[in-house]
Each structure stands twice: as C-alpha cells, then as structure tokens.
C-alpha cells in the first residue's frame, strides 16, 4: 500500500499555502506581482510503456508562475514617484551587476544627483547635453542637474498689433520730430523687456507716430505712413536724446492689412549701451531683428495682441517634472525649461521567464529573452505617470478564498493518509 499520493498532496497544498502567503504579505508592496502555484499529476512508467489502468502516484509542483498584470495606480504628492501604465520595466543598476528590472517607481535623488531606488540602484536613461538635446543610445544612470541656466541675449523681437487708421497726424512741423515727454507728438506707445549677454534687463519703449495720411488719388499715390521710434532705458536707438530719429516706417495700403513693401520695417536694430532702473550699465545688443510684419491698420483702437522676444535672464533650478514620454524636464526660476534626460524602459517577450531577485527587482534569463528597450509610449511600451505609484496586483479577496481552499485540500490529503493507515492496520490484525 502507498502513502505517496497523500504525502505529495500534503506537500503540494503546503507549497500552495506558501505562495498564497507570499502574495498576501506583498499585497501592499508597490510594484509587486502576484504568483500562482501550478501543479501537474505524476504517473509511473510501466515496463512495456503502456497501460490502461494506471493509477497516478500523486501531484508535483510544476512551477510558480508570476502574474504580470497591471496593478492599480495610486496618485501621490511626490514628483519622483513614477508608475508605468502599460507594459515595461524600469531599468536599474548598481554599476557592477547586470541590469535589473523593476515595476516599483519609488525613486529619490541621492547626494550626487543620481535617481535611485530604496536599494540605491540607479535608474537608467538617456542623458541630455547642455542645450537640453536628448542623447539617445546606451542607457546610463540618470543624473539630475543642480546648476542654474545661463542668460541669453535677445536676437529677435516680434510684435503683433493694430494701429488706428482714424488717428490724426502727430508729426510736428518743426524739429525735433518727436518729444517723448510730450504725448501730442506721437499717437501710441508700448514697452517690453529684452536682455543683454549678461542677462541684464533692458526696457524698450516703442512710440508710434502717424506721419502722413495717404491719398490714393495723388500722382503718385501716397500711403498712410507711421514713424516708429524706440528707446532703450530712455536712450533713443536712432538720433540723440534731443533729436530722436525713427528706426523705420510702416506704410499701409488702403485696406489696412499688412504693411506695404515700401515700409522700412521689419528691420535689424542695434540696441546701444544704457543704464537700467537699478543704475547698472547694460551691454549693447547688436543685430536684433525687429519684426512688425503682422501689424494692421484698421478702424479700431490701438492694441498690442502679441509681443515676444528670444532672450532671458539667468535662472536657478526651481523644479523637475517627468513627462509621459519619460523626459525629465528641468524648470528654472526665469520661466525657462529644458530636458535634463529621458528614462528608458524595457519589455520582454516572456516576462514570466524573469528571475525574481527580491527588493522589487527581476533579472533576465534565457526563458525571458533579451529586453526590448525604448522610451515610454513607443510601440507597445506603456506611458510614464509622474507623482503616482503602481500598487501590487494581488487580489486580497481571491487570495483569502484560495487560502481556505488550500486548507481544505491539505485536510483532505491528510485524511487519505489516515485512511491508508487504518486499512494497513486492519491487514496487520488479520489472523
């Protein structure tokens, strides 16, 4: 008589309880994946390789299969918490061992600026150069910047506005052509801030003076003409303080749409040295493109609808944000931003073939195949979500039900051993 079937059943039920217990223990572990015990029946081979009335000799644990289904995503207040919504794994490394893979996105910044997890494994990705251009290729440990961003001198100005065609001519008959202290010598004014090579702010003020009302019937026909004056911290760009001169003119056809080709603007202007409001001497800014091509002259009040320039002051690092495509975006106190790197993630044809290492990490094996790497959102790879974490995919309710089932299976197998013992005892007692 054999106790083998009941003994193997006890062992299988015990292993099943161990798997269930591990799932329950990790039900609150971020990035953890549940496992499932999978069993197979066992038969002894007959001598002739055949048999119609074979009785099995028990059960064996065939494998513990990991279940890489998506876990729920919970939002946190930490921007360094990351979750992958979809397929893929974070790649982490200690710099010595082969690359490891994880779904746990609880990352932090160490004293050297590297992005690390709780085991001090560094997150891998693509670095960015000094201008913020991502350098794809071999994934390296991501190191976040600590320095600020340097200034940039203004080299282009674009303005979009409307000049009122109903305005009267304000060009004085004598000299000087304009007096900035006398609003009757010009029609409208607006201002903006530009920056020199040191990032010092320069206040530009634009004055628009209607110089001529056009007469389409004249020979040759004349157009509505406006003089445009510009000062830098109160210093005229053309002429002198006593006798300013325009930097250019705008002439409009009768329908007032875009400036006529006879206009001398757009143009390139040179901003001279001056003193700003703090009393500091600003540098000259040569060769600035002044684009007023989107100016109109309609029967409506003067209004500037858009004004932009390409310079900025120096700024300090203010915050870091991680986009859905894994780009780490550095934001600075001057309003500028630039990429500081991009996270690379990996996926496998057979994730169940990965070898668990503990610490929320796995390593590749022959069964898993080589990693398929890319940036979040590429192909079949999932997208990145910053300020969020993926919870364990363990269904606690199902695990508790499975635990009860495993307990009953264990009791039933123990009962078969007890029955075998009673039958054997009866046989021994025969006289």
All domains of the chain in start order, with CATH? 4-69+394-428 (no CATH), 75-146+341-390 (no CATH), 156-309 (2.60.98.20)
At residue 51, the pLDDT reads 59
Q: What percent of the chain has pLDDT over 90?
A: 75
* Helix ranges restricted to H, 190-300: none
Q: What is the mean pLDDT of residues 116-120?
A: 94
Query: Over the stretch 365-395, which tens digit does the pLDDT of each residue have?
Result: 999 999 999 999 999 999 999 999 999 999 9
Per-residue pLDDT for 47 more than 60? no
At residue 429, the pLDDT reads 86
Q: What is the mean pLDDT of residues 3-9?
A: 86
Q: What is the mean pLDDT of residues 2-18?
A: 89
Q: What is the mean pLDDT of residues 238-250?
A: 93
Per-residue pLDDT for 352 more than 90? yes
Query: Over the stretch 253-280, which tens digit does the pLDDT of each residue have?
Result: 888 888 999 898 889 999 999 998 888 8
Number of Cβ atoms within 10 Å of the Cβ of 308: 11
Per-residue pLDDT for 1 more than 50? no
Q: What is the mean pLDDT of residues 412-425?
A: 86
Per-residue pLDDT for 413 more than 80? yes
Q: What is the DSSP letter of 168?
A: P
Q: What is the mean pLDDT of residues 318-325?
A: 91
At residue 48, the pLDDT reads 58
What lies within 8 Å, CB to CB, of 344 at 6+ separation is 91, 124, 125, 126, 139, 326, 373, 374, 375
- Determine which helix (DSSP H) or strand (DSSP E) holds 59, and give its type and residue range: strand 58-66
Please name every residue paired with 307 in a beta bridge, in sequence order, or none if there are none: 159
Q: What is the mean pLDDT of residues 295-311?
A: 95
Residue with the bigger pLDDT between 4 and 83: it is 83
Write the secondary structure of 176-209 as one string of H (helix), E (strand) and C (coil).
CCCCCCCHHHCCEEEEEEEECCCCCEEEEEEEEE
Q: Prior bond to 266 cis, omega within 30?
A: yes
At residue 90, the pLDDT reads 97
Q: What is the mean pLDDT of residues 78-103?
A: 94
Max Cα distance, the chain (Å): 145
Confidence of residue 323 (pLDDT cuts 50, 70, 90): very high
Per-residue pLDDT for 231 more than 80? yes
- Whole-model pTM: value is 0.79
Per-residue pLDDT for 419 more than 80? yes
d(C-alpha 429, C-alpha 392), whole Å: 56
Helix orientation angle between 4-25 and 396-428, rounded to the nearest 10 degrees: 160
Q: What is the mean pLDDT of residues 341-360?
A: 94
Mean of per-residue pLDDT scores for the chain: 92
Burial class (CB in 10 A: 0-12, 13-18, 19+), 66: middle
Lowest-confidence region among 36-40, 280-284, 417-421: 417-421
- Determine which helix (DSSP H) or strand (DSSP E) holds 307, and give its type and residue range: strand 303-309
At residue 397, the pLDDT reads 93
Are the CB atoms for 270 and 287 separated by under 8 Å?
Answer: yes
At residue 162, the pLDDT reads 96
Are the CB atoms for 378 and 344 separated by under 8 Å?
Answer: no
What are the φ and ψ backbone dihedral angles of 246, each rounded to 5 degrees?
Answer: -70, 150
Per-residue pLDDT for 102 more than 70? yes
What lies within 8 Å, CB to CB, of 303 at 6+ separation is 161, 162
**What length is written for the chain?**
431
Q: What is the mean pLDDT of residues 81-95?
A: 95
At residue 277, the pLDDT reads 81
């Amino acid at each position: 008589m054999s106790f083998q079937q009941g003994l193997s059943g006890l062992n299988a039920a015990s292993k099943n309880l161990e798997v269930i217990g591990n799932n329950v223990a990790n039900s609150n572990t971020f990035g953890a994946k549940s496992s499932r015990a999978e069993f197979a029946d066992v038969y002894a081979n007959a001598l002739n390789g055949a048999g119609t009335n074979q009785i099995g000799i028990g059960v064996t644990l065939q494998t513990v299969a990991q279940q890489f289904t998506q876990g729920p995503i919970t939002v946190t207040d930490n921007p360094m918490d990351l979750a992958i919504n979809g397929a893929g794994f974070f790649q982490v490394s200690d710099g010595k061992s082969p690359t490891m893979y994880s779904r746990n996105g609880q990352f932090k910044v160490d004293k050297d600026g590297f992005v690390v997890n709780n085991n001090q494994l560094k997150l891998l990705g693509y670095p960015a150069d000094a201008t913020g251009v991502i350098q794809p290729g071999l994934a390296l440990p991501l190191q976040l910047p600590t320095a600020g961003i340097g200034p940039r001198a203004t080299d282009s100005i674009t303005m979009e506005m409307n000049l009122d065609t109903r305005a009267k001519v304000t060009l004085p008959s004598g000299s000087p052509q304009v007096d900035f202290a006398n609003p009757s010598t010009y029609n409208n004014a607006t201002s903006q801030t530009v920056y020199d090579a040191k990032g010092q702010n320069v206040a530009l003020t634009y004055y628009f003076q209607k110089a001529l009302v056009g007469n389409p019937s004249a020979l040759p026909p004349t157009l509505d003409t406006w003089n445009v004056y510009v000062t830098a911290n109160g210093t005229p760009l053309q002429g002198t303080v006593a006798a300013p001169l325009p930097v250019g003119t705008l002439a409009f056809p009768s329908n007032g749409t875009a400036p006529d080709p006879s206009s001398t603007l757009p143009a390139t202007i040179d901003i001279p040295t001056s003193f700003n409001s703090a009393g500091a001497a600003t540098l000259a800014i040569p060769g600035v493109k002044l684009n007023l091509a989107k100016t109109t002259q309609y029967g409506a009040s003067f209004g500037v609808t858009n004004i932009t320039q390409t310079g900025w002051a120096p700024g300090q690092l203010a915050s870091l944000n991680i986009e859905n495509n894994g780009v780490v975006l550095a934001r600075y106190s001057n309003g500028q931003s630039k990429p500081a790197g991009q996270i690379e993630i990996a996926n496998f044809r057979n994730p169940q073939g990965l070898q668990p290492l503990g610490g929320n990490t796995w390593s590749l094996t022959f069964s898993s195949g080589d990693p398929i790497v890319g940036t979040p959102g590429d192909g079949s790879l999932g997208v990145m979500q910053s300020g969020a974490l993926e919870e364990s995919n363990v269904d606690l309710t199902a695990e508790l039900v499975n635990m009860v089932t495993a307990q009953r299976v264990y009791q039933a197998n123990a009962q078969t051993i007890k029955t075998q013992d009673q039958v054997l005892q009866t046989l021994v007692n025969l006289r």
